[in-house]
Chain A
Amino acid sequence: MQKEITRRSFLKTSLLGGAAAASSLLLPRTVRASKGEDLCTLLDLRKCIGCGACVEACRDINVHKFPELEGPMPAMFPRSRVDIADWTFPEKRAVRDRLTPFNWLMIQTARGQYKGKDFELHLPRRCMHCHNAPCVNLCPFGVAFTQRNGIVRIHPDLCMGGGKCKQVCPWHIPERQSGVGSYLNLLPNFAGNGVMFKCDRCYDRVALGELPACIEACPKELQRIGPRKEILERAHRLAGEIDGFIYGENESGGTNTLYVSPVPFDVLNQTIATGPGRPHLKDVPDAMTRVNRFASALIAGPVIGAIAAVARRQRSVDSSDGQEG
């Protein structure tokens, strides 16, 4: 039995049983993956033609989640230190070649030579949905969170736009829109700076048993989505078949986005345009492993404290025994 939901299977089911029947057929599989099991996507990069259908679908489906300024941009102090990001102008809103608050998915193109052969690969890039996401762990207000199905989200009504999530994200994925969000109701001149936006894997569609927009719209069936264990097995099988490489399995301690490519990712990384809004393809160590190593101080401290107290008590008893003797 095919475990993953593919665009083809979705369309087939829809044609056969109608939309209602399709929803009911898809629902159990998605819900099964939702109950404590991470949903993971597999992107076979050989298939991507860079047509941008996924980018357009993402923008169309998620348009109701995009930020809208409801008043003038507040004067934020100190101006020289506040990075005001306003993407609401039409020409900026239309940007598609990088991640923005209005563009949660972008396509990078890698061209070059590998093993003496020319290659051209296209890479849809968005949030990787890390298993133990630094953005979730380090958000100072706890408004970045991981759903039980592994989807990493930033709550748009609660985010203050400080951008810590972007700084600690290994790929610096979240993008800020200033002048919107809850900080306007607090001290907009002195604290906060808008809301951070990124791919939310169409969590609302997934909750209804539907596919994320980018997967459904792809004419080449580039992506598969399913339980991480099964997707990981499939990724390894595919990488074995094509003598390829996997990105996202171990990066940042493991993510729920797996790219499979016939060209090594360090080679691809040298040929893609990287920078603000354009994530890299470097090896990424797990930042949270180091954080959790430092957390061992919270165990060592009490142990040392207990030893010191017992030692002091012992010395005090020895001392009083000596005086009595």
Chain B
Amino acid sequence: MLNDRFDTYIKWTFLAALGISMFTGFGNMPMWGRFYVSDIPGLGWSADFFINLYVHYLSGGVLLGIATYSIIHYSQRRDRDARLSRTGVLRVTVFGLVLVSGALSAVKNLPSINLPLAGLMALVFFHLGAVMVYILISLACRIMRKPWMS
């Protein structure tokens, strides 16, 4: 009972952090100010690139936390029958790439790290591309009612 409630809590925290990450991620491009999103009451901060990035990092930290929790938790489960479905594996893999490329994007901002132009662009577009692929796969799985677990 307690565990069920905790799983529900984790699920909604994941969805909220995912939504905030996507909003602030796309907000890293100069879009929300141009297209009136920052005019919506309560979203004025989204036009500030620094605040946008702070929130992106915080929500990214939550996603990394849930990912770490899930990996450890499911690897320790006794019921070995509970396995990821094929679409589940695909979603987890792509989401992992999003998280890893996002974390690397934060690392490259450290003063001692200096990537060349090609490296910077590859990292930025890989992260953006992986997010887009994840969104498309997730939508397709939702529409086709594909379960995470087999």
Please state if A131 and B111 are interface contacts (CB–CB under 8 Å). yes
Please state if A142 and B73 are interface contacts (CB–CB under 8 Å). no
Residues of A within 8 A of B65 (CB): 300-305, 308
Please state if B69 and A309 are interface contacts (CB–CB under 8 Å). yes
Please state if B57 and A146 are interface contacts (CB–CB under 8 Å). no
Residue B34 contacts which of A78, A292, A298, A299 (CB distance < 8 angstroms)?
A: A78
B35, CB-defined interface residue at 8 Å? yes
Please state if A297 and B73 are interface contacts (CB–CB under 8 Å). no
Residues of A within 8 A of B102 (CB): 298
B interface footprint on A265-294 (CB within 8 Å = 1, 0 otherwise): 000000000000000000000011011101
Please state if A305 and B67 are interface contacts (CB–CB under 8 Å). yes
Query: For the side of the interface on A, what is the size category?
Result: 35 or more
A interface footprint on B59-77 (CB within 8 Å = 1, 0 otherwise): 0111111111111110010
Residue A300 contacts which of B28, B31, B61, B103 (CB distance < 8 angstroms)?
A: B61
Tell whether A292 pairs with B110 under 8 Å between CB atoms, given A158-B121, A298-B103, A305-B67: yes
Residues of B within 8 A of A145 (CB): 115-117, 120
B interface: dominant SS: helix
Residues of A within 8 A of B58 (CB): 294, 297
Please state if A291 and B30 are interface contacts (CB–CB under 8 Å). no
Please state if A295 and B3 are interface contacts (CB–CB under 8 Å). no
Residues of B within 8 A of A141 (CB): 121, 124-125
Residue B121 contacts which of A137, A143, A310 (CB distance < 8 angstroms)?
A: A143
**Complex formed: what's the CA distance from A319 to B49 in Å?**
48
Please state if A312 and B3 are interface contacts (CB–CB under 8 Å). yes
Nearest-Cβ distance from residue A296 to partner chain B, whole angstroms? 8
Residue B72 contacts which of A155, A163, A290, A305 (CB distance < 8 angstroms)?
A: A305
B136, CB-defined interface residue at 8 Å? no
**Complex formed: what's the CA distance from A306 to B69 in Å?**
5
A229, CB-defined interface residue at 8 Å? no
Please state if B57 and A309 are interface contacts (CB–CB under 8 Å). no
**Complex formed: what's the CA distance from A145 to B103 in Å?**
19
Please state if B68 and A294 are interface contacts (CB–CB under 8 Å). no
Residues of B within 8 A of A142 (CB): 117, 120-125
- B-to-A contact residues, CB < 8 Å: 3, 6, 28-31, 33-36, 49-50, 53-54, 57-58, 60-73, 76, 102-103, 106, 108-111, 114-117, 120-125
- A-to-B contact residues, CB < 8 Å: 78, 81-82, 131-132, 136-143, 145-146, 148, 155, 158, 162-164, 167-168, 191, 253, 287-288, 290-292, 294-295, 297-306, 308-310, 312-313, 316
- Closest 9 CB pairs between A and B? A297-B61, A301-B65, A301-B61, A305-B68, A142-B120, A309-B72, A305-B65, A305-B69, A162-B30
List 19 interface pairs A-B (beta carbons < 8 Å), by A numbering. A139-B124, A140-B124, A141-B121, A146-B114, A158-B121, A291-B50, A295-B109, A297-B57, A298-B64, A301-B63, A302-B65, A303-B68, A305-B68, A305-B69, A305-B72, A309-B71, A310-B72, A313-B76, A316-B3
